[in-house]
Chains A and B, each alone.
Chain A
């Protein structure tokens, strides 16, 4: 364990689907300002562990601690309310709404027109969108534009912006660079670094070892539902990670 208390601590978590042991005593920590990459082949258990953390699934054994307190979320909404935001590949953005409207979807601010009629406060939404996106080095000029008008990497930034506006402290990103072209991948990696600089904890799932070595502070390798090794990028090589992933 390192100096600061971890935001998230996964301790010996197991999960079985019938006879299939999807997770077997998996452990790792995520500290503030730390990027933890989950590496592993398909079916190795990466998705199962993030589902357990984000309230989609319940684990059978072991403990997940958020700020030192044991958690067991029944729904993703509970997890999000506690500051754990999961960003899936589909991003769950409403393409026809603006950035601000997406950030506030479900919690829209209101104002009173002429002191009587309650109306949506679009100016407040646009303003919050502008400030939040600027904190991610993404300076939006057209706040009225629907999200559909933005590129894949920018939409990724919007989904992250929505998370940090609502004070997410742990951001889980599932293959955030998978569907993007190379320049856009660079932007998303820059985005992850900017989140780290803000002191967020980040769990980053990727198949791409180059991306992992570029941004991760800790690499957690999965193999057949087990934690086959935790390494620091500075103390390992891509070859070793691949060996841990496939067994050698």
Chain B
């Protein structure tokens, strides 16, 4: 008697089918774009897709939620959640605005240097909530939902206090160019987000850090048995999420030439939605950066597209909500069909 049989118990579909299943958020995105394209051709006699203005608007619109969602992808794969990203982004935005003004006025830095110092300051400040989140969750065993909910409040309060309850205007043409400029017709924000996507995709799919994040999300005993330093791993994951929120905050300040505590307020749920629409499971263990990118674009296309076809803006919420629910249902059905075992 031998173990003899070769393949998995439930027959696995062909790799190409698996691959397409993983990219289903992209399939959905394509259908969505085709729908708006058809609408534009029939109703307006114009093109939705072959319109540089539309494309640029959607991409720029998607950058902030995408930056948050990229970090959130790691958190959700590790079976955690980071509720603080929205206000960490706001805090970073306010600090970046203050820093831009301070370095120009007090140190007399030229605009370019003041912008660089401001972006660094905003991002650096986000390290603090990231470290605190990570320590609370890794060392003190506080559930991620509670720990980051606490940080949501702390970062919110801190951001409004630093802003004095108002928005903090800046006057720096370089900083404004980061948020609104173009290089060869491509918005700078989009280039920054694309670089972030490449770097985080590499980290998730090709480094031990990424591999261990998947393992932690699937099975803490497995990660522990493998000798992975789980506490440091969790700390790094929440730090990464906060730093991405910090970058998003600094970008916001550039785009709107002002720092605002509420900069990321509506984006928290969008960031989680993007990750989930992209195919990640909130139980942890699955998700990809490519999926998250598609998820963020799906949300941006729905929001922009509904405005484009003159639907009342409130329908956006309903549409995005419906898409989240449908994508979770699709994910569960797919797991059953693909022979994976149910979460025990």
Please report A residues at the B interface, Cβ cutoff 8 Å.
76-77, 90, 92-97, 101-102, 105-108, 117-120, 136-142, 144-146, 148-151, 153-154, 157, 186-187, 189-191, 194
Tell me if B192 counts as interface (CB < 8 A to partner A): no
Q: A96-B214, A106-B212, A149-B8 are in contact. Are A154 and B3 (CB under 8 A)?
A: yes
Interchain residue pairs with CB less than 8 A apart (29) = A92-B221, A92-B222, A92-B225, A94-B219, A95-B218, A95-B219, A96-B215, A96-B217, A101-B211, A105-B215, A105-B226, A105-B228, A106-B226, A119-B206, A120-B206, A120-B207, A120-B208, A137-B4, A138-B4, A139-B6, A142-B7, A145-B12, A149-B8, A149-B339, A149-B340, A151-B8, A186-B1, A187-B3, A189-B1
Q: Once the chains are docked, how many angstroms separate the CA of A186 from the CA of B3?
A: 9
Closest 10 CB pairs of A and B: A106-B226, A149-B8, A151-B9, A105-B226, A137-B2, A119-B206, A92-B225, A94-B215, A138-B3, A94-B218
Please report B residues at the A interface, Cβ cutoff 8 Å.
1-10, 12, 15, 202, 205-208, 211-212, 214-215, 217-219, 221-228, 285-286, 338-341
Give 14 A-B pairs besides A106-B223, A187-B2 with Cβ atoms closer than 8 angstroms: A92-B224, A92-B225, A93-B219, A94-B222, A97-B211, A97-B214, A105-B212, A106-B226, A108-B208, A120-B207, A139-B6, A144-B15, A145-B8, A150-B9
Measured between beta carbons, the chain A residues less than 8 angstroms from B226 are: 105-107
How far does the Cβ of A66 sit from chain B's closest Cβ, in whole Å? 20
Measured between beta carbons, the chain B residues less than 8 angstroms from A144 are: 15
Measured between beta carbons, the chain A residues less than 8 angstroms from B215 are: 94, 96-97, 105
* Chain B residue nearest to A137 in the complex (CB): B2
How far does the Cβ of A74 sit from chain B's closest Cβ, in whole Å? 14
Measured between beta carbons, the chain B residues less than 8 angstroms from A149 are: 8-10, 12, 338-340
How far does the Cβ of B277 sit from chain A's closest Cβ, in whole Å? 19
Q: A96-B285, A149-B340 are in contact. Are A90 and B221 (CB under 8 A)?
A: yes
How far does the Cβ of A244 sit from chain B's closest Cβ, in whole Å? 29
Decide if B3 touches A142 in the complex (CB within 8 Å): no
Instruction: Find B2's partner among A95, A141, A146, A190 (CB 8 Å cutoff).
Output: A190
Q: Once the chains are docked, how many angstroms separate the CA of A241 from the CA of B2?
A: 28
How far does the Cβ of A199 sit from chain B's closest Cβ, in whole Å? 18
How far does the Cβ of B254 sit from chain A's closest Cβ, in whole Å? 30
Q: How many A-B residue pairs have CB under 8 A?
A: 110
Measured between beta carbons, the chain A residues less than 8 angstroms from B218 are: 94-97
Q: Once the chains are docked, how many angstroms separate the CA of A133 from the CA of B9?
A: 16
Q: A92-B219, A153-B3, A187-B1 are in contact. Are A148 and B340 (CB under 8 A)?
A: yes
* Chain B residue nearest to A188 in the complex (CB): B3
Decide if A95 touches B285 in the complex (CB within 8 Å): yes
How far does the Cβ of A18 sit from chain B's closest Cβ, in whole Å? 27
Measured between beta carbons, the chain A residues less than 8 angstroms from B222 are: 92-94, 102, 105
Which of A119, A144, A150, A189 has the most chain B CB atoms inside 10 A of its CB?
A150
Q: Once the chains are docked, how many angstroms separate the CA of A108 from the CA of B130?
A: 27
* Chain A residue nearest to B340 in the complex (CB): A148
Measured between beta carbons, the chain A residues less than 8 angstroms from B202 are: 117, 119
Instruction: Find A157's partner among B3, B15, B207, B211 (CB 8 Å cutoff).
Output: B3
Measured between beta carbons, the chain B residues less than 8 angstroms from A101 are: 211
Measured between beta carbons, the chain B residues less than 8 angstroms from A97 are: 211, 214-215, 218
How far does the Cβ of A198 sit from chain B's closest Cβ, in whole Å? 14
Measured between beta carbons, the chain A residues less than 8 angstroms from B4 are: 137-139
Measured between beta carbons, the chain A residues less than 8 angstroms from B208 are: 108, 120
How far does the Cβ of B339 sit from chain A's closest Cβ, in whole Å? 5
* Chain B residue nearest to A88 in the complex (CB): B221
* Chain A residue nearest to B285 in the complex (CB): A96
How far does the Cβ of B219 sit from chain A's closest Cβ, in whole Å? 5
Instruction: Find A105's partner among B12, B15, B206, B223 (CB 8 Å cutoff).
Output: B223
Measured between beta carbons, the chain B residues less than 8 angstroms from A153 are: 3
Q: A95-B341, A106-B228, A190-B3 are in contact. Are A150 and B214 (CB under 8 A)?
A: no
Q: Once the chains are docked, how many angstroms separate the CA of A186 from the CA of B9?
A: 16
How far does the Cβ of B208 sit from chain A's closest Cβ, in whole Å? 5
Measured between beta carbons, the chain B residues less than 8 angstroms from A148 are: 340-341
Q: Once the chains are docked, how many angstroms separate the CA of A140 from the CA of B339?
A: 16
Decide if A142 touches B12 in the complex (CB within 8 Å): yes
Measured between beta carbons, the chain B residues less than 8 angstroms from A136 are: 3
Decide if B8 touches A150 in the complex (CB within 8 Å): yes
How far does the Cβ of A102 sit from chain B's closest Cβ, in whole Å? 7
Decide if A140 touches B341 in the complex (CB within 8 Å): no
Decide if A105 touches B211 in the complex (CB within 8 Å): yes
How far does the Cβ of A236 sit from chain B's closest Cβ, in whole Å? 24
